[in-house]
């Protein structure tokens, strides 16, 4: 079967289908696009709680800075294995509940269960070191993190696929901007939960080896909001049946049936992926490696630079953990504001380059700052890079694809998010020693990686 040319042949029927598709696009309202991505708000709350607190949790459980990156290897590895399968399976799923929605619901339910258990890892009271020098609480937390990250990605991926399924090319940038807005709003809420609970009087410290109640209750509330938001989207969105989907994307029904009977494997799809898949993927590699180091080492960098402590049991370290949530929230605000600016650029590539350079400046500035309030400016700048990473790669990629095998390609594209995190995490301990065990130095490296990503944007051949 030949799949390199994924566009259907130009026939009268296909031209008519394209015209019908264009007419349908004009009927998609703002409310419909909002409902399509609203569940992403809850999913992102869970993701932000994970990214802002995991290093804090494992440091509290007894991990030293050189071990922290170890805990980040398995989650993206699971995502890299699972996401292409979710995309491929959902491409072939046509049931009463929908095409992507069943995976959305299952992922959310698993995430809620894990979020109830993960912050209680310290209660296991396993003090003895087991395999690889990790105690029982760390191993429980590690496997909980694997399931949490995997389930969040299973719940997150269908939102990206549904936008590609149901939104026409002319509205796609707007739809992804709405999704980016909800994503950053969810991040803002999730990042501020620990400091909010501390403010209302819930303890921010705990006995050695125990997770502070402020973090535990943050995960509980995040889980509740996650399931409510996902259920809202599940109830409000009705996915297209096969015939309507084929018409919307201008797919020849006969060709669609042929594709169904001769389903290509993921490896074959990867071999024939469009050039944009690989060039955007290269940019993704540098960007996601940078943010892996941000999530892993910001807590230690802020504690050392602004609170002059490296002891996870100290009040200063836990206070720094709360402030990291504030910094990441400011990053989300910066991302929301920059996401409004991005569509003003005539060139997607120019906005991509500029966004990554601004983010790099934010990362590099951290090593020179010892006042916690001045760090707000640094992470505000980092938000520009995050805004670009959320919207532009998927816009560039999906515009280069037809409706065929779309879920499979988006699943494979998720590997450009997971693989760099795995590489960065695997090398984290070694690189940390190379920068003099300075966790702030790891953030400088993150800035350098973003600069490399901005240079790689020149390889992308995309539309304006």
Confidence class for position 51, pLDDT limits 50, 70, 90: confident
Can you tell me the mean pLDDT for 301-315?
90
* Tokens 């459980």 sit on residue: 61
Strand partners, 95: 98
pLDDT at 10: 42
Confidence class for position 11, pLDDT limits 50, 70, 90: very low
Phi, psi dihedrals of residue 98, rounded to the nearest 5°? 130, -165
pLDDT at 7: 41
pLDDT at 174: 78
Residue 228 has pLDDT above 80, yes or no: yes
Helix (H, G, I), strand (E, B) or coil at 98: strand
Is the pLDDT higher at 343 or at 290? 290
Confidence class for position 405, pLDDT limits 50, 70, 90: low
Burial 171-201 (b: 16+ CB within 10 A, else e): bbbebbbbbbbbbbbbbbbbbbbbbbbbeee
Q: Model confidence over 413-457: pLDDT tens digits? A: 778 888 898 899 889 989 999 999 999 999 999 999 999 999 999
Phi, psi dihedrals of residue 129, rounded to the nearest 5°? -80, 130
pLDDT at 326: 93
Confidence class for position 257, pLDDT limits 50, 70, 90: low
Angle between helix 39-61 and helix 275-306 axes, rounded to 10 deg = 50
Smallest CA-to-CA distance from 294 within 449, 458, 101, 157 is with: 449
Q: Model confidence over 95-115: pLDDT tens digits? A: 778 888 888 899 999 999 999
pLDDT at 3: 39
Q: Which of 30-34, 273-277, 285-289, 436-440 has the lowest mean pLDDT?
A: 273-277
pLDDT at 401: 67
Residue 393 has pLDDT above 50, yes or no: yes
Confidence class for position 2, pLDDT limits 50, 70, 90: very low
- Using a pLDDT cut of 90, give the percent of the chain over it: 32
Q: Model confidence over 347-370: pLDDT tens digits? A: 888 999 999 999 999 999 999 999
Can you tell me the mean pLDDT for 237-249?
80
Residue 8 has pLDDT above 70, yes or no: no
Can you tell me the mean pLDDT for 323-348?
88
pLDDT at 404: 61
Residue 254 has pLDDT above 90, yes or no: no
Can you tell me the mean pLDDT for 202-228?
90
Class assignment of domain 29-459? mainly alpha
The residues, any chain, with a CB within 8 Å of residue 386's CB and separated by 6 or more, are 184, 291, 331, 332, 334, 335, 359
- Cβ-contact 75, 150 below 8 angstroms: yes
**pTM, entire model:** 0.74
Can you tell me the mean pLDDT for 177-205?
88
Confidence class for position 265, pLDDT limits 50, 70, 90: low
Instruction: In whole angstroms, give the CA distance from residue 111 to residue 148.
Output: 5
* Tokens 């990441």 sit on residue: 328
Can you tell me the mean pLDDT for 261-280?
71
C-alpha distances in Å from residue 18, one per residue of 10, 238, 250, 276, 304: 10, 22, 5, 23, 58
Instruction: In whole angstroms, give the CA distance from residue 100 to residue 85.
Output: 12
Q: Where are the domains of the chain?
A: 29-459
pLDDT at 9: 41
pLDDT at 372: 94
Is the pLDDT higher at 276 or at 110? 110
Q: Model confidence over 114-173: pLDDT tens digits? A: 999 888 887 765 555 556 667 777 788 888 888 888 888 888 878 878 887 888 777 777
Can you tell me the mean pLDDT for 299-316?
90
Tokens of residue 279, six digits: 């060039």
Arithmetic mean of pLDDT over the chain:
82
pLDDT at 462: 56
pLDDT at 255: 62
């Amino acid at each position: 079967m030949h799949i390199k040319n994924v566009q259907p042949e130009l026939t009268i029927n296909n031209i008519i289908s394209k015209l019908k598709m264009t007419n349908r696009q004009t009927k998609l309202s703002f409310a419909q696009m909002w409902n399509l991505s609203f569940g992403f708000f809850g999913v992102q709350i869970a993701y932000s709680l994970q990214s802002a607190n995991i290093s804090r949790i494992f440091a509290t459980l007894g991990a030293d800075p050189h071990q922290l990156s170890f805990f980040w290897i398995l989650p993206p590895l699971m995502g890299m294995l699972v996401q292409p399968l979710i995309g491929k399976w959902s491409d072939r799923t046509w049931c009463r509940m929908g095409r992507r929605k069943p995976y959305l619901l299952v992922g959310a339910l698993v995430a809620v269960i894990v979020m109830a258990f993960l912050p209680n890892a310290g209660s296991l009271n396993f003090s003895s070191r087991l395999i690889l020098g990790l105690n029982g609480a760390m191993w429980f937390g590690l496997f909980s993190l694997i399931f949490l990250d995997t389930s969040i990605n299973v719940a997150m991926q269908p939102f990206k696929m549904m936008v590609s399924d149901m939104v026409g090319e002319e509205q796609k940038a707007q739809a992804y901007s709405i999704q980016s807005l909800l994503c950053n709003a969810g991040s803002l809420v999730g990042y501020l939960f620990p400091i909010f609970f501390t403010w209302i009087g819930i303890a921010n410290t705990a006995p050695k080896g125990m997770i502070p109640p402020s973090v535990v209750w943050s995960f509980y509330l995040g889980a509740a909001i996650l399931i409510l938001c996902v259920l809202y989207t599940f109830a409000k969105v009705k996915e297209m049946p096969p015939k309507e989907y084929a018409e919307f994307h201008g797919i020849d029904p006969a060709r669609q049936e042929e594709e169904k009977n001769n389903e290509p494997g993921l490896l074959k799809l990867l071999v024939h992926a469009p050039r944009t898949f690989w060039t955007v993927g290269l940019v993704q590699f540098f960007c996601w490696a940078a943010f892996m180091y941000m999530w892993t080492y910001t807590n230690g960098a802020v504690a050392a630079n602004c609170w002059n402590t490296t002891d996870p049991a100290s009040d200063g370290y836990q206070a720094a953990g709360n402030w990291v949530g504030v910094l990441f929230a400011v990053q989300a605000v910066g991302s929301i504001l920059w996401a409004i600016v991005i569509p003003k650029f005539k060139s997607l590539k120019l906005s991509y380059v500029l966004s990554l350079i601004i983010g790099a400046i934010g990362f590099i500035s951290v090593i020179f700052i010892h006042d916690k309030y001045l760090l707000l400016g640094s992470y505000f700048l980092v938000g520009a890079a995050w805004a670009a990473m959320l919207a532009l790669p998927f816009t560039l990629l999906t515009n280069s694809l037809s409706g065929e095998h779309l879920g499979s390609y988006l699943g494979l594209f998720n590997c450009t998010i997971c693989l760099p995190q795995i590489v960065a995490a695997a090398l984290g301990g070694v690189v940390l020693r190379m920068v003099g065990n300075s966790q702030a130095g790891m953030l400088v490296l993150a800035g350098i990686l973003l600069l490399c990503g901005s240079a790689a944007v020149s390889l992308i051949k995309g539309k304006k």
